[in-house]
Amino acid sequence: MSDLRALIRELLVQEIAALGGANGAIPAPAPFREETVAIRTDAELSAFVTRILAIADDPGLRKDIAAGRYRFRLSESRPPQPDAHQPAAPVQAAQPAKIRFERGLMTEKDVARLPDSASAISIGKTVRFTPLARDELRRRAIKIERTQT
């Protein structure tokens, strides 16, 4: 993709120069740097922030970053992102087909993780559902039993 952008820039510079823009003296576009970074863990994020702070000490590089001539790209190979929330782990009740959730937000991913044998779930007073989670529970004919404690 960057090769295509460089080719387009070169063609534009040639065409504008042929038109005689700016008295025929058109400065070539400033070259830019591109750095590929991999951020998969907290340690890698911390290392990247430290690198940015080190770059920011150089006024020239700071200007290049602000002007878009120094770019950062994420590496292509990224592992699947973890869920944004950490729901309470389901606790098996006395019946193997009944599962209990004490608190949190239940999403459609949480419903998909329920065993196929689940016929009902018991939830605490503060458990909330996303609309897709409710739809999936309804589709799978899983009953919701809310406790008062």
Q: How many CA atoms lie within 13 A of 76 on its CB side?
A: 0
Place of tokens 């690198």: 51
The residue-averaged pLDDT of 54-61 equals: 84
pLDDT, tens digit, 9 for 90 and up, residues 3-24: 788 888 888 888 877 776 555 5
pTM: 0.35
pLDDT, tens digit, 9 for 90 and up, residues 58-116: 888 888 888 888 888 888 765 555 555 655 555 554 454 568 888 888 888 888 888 88
Q: What is the pLDDT of residue 119?
A: 86
CB 71 within 8 A of CB 33: yes
148 against 80, higher pLDDT: 148
Domain ranges for the chain: 9-74, 91-146
The residue-averaged pLDDT of 15-42 equals: 71
Residue type, 71: R
Cα–Cα separations (whole angstroms), residue 136 to 53, 131, 145: 46, 9, 16
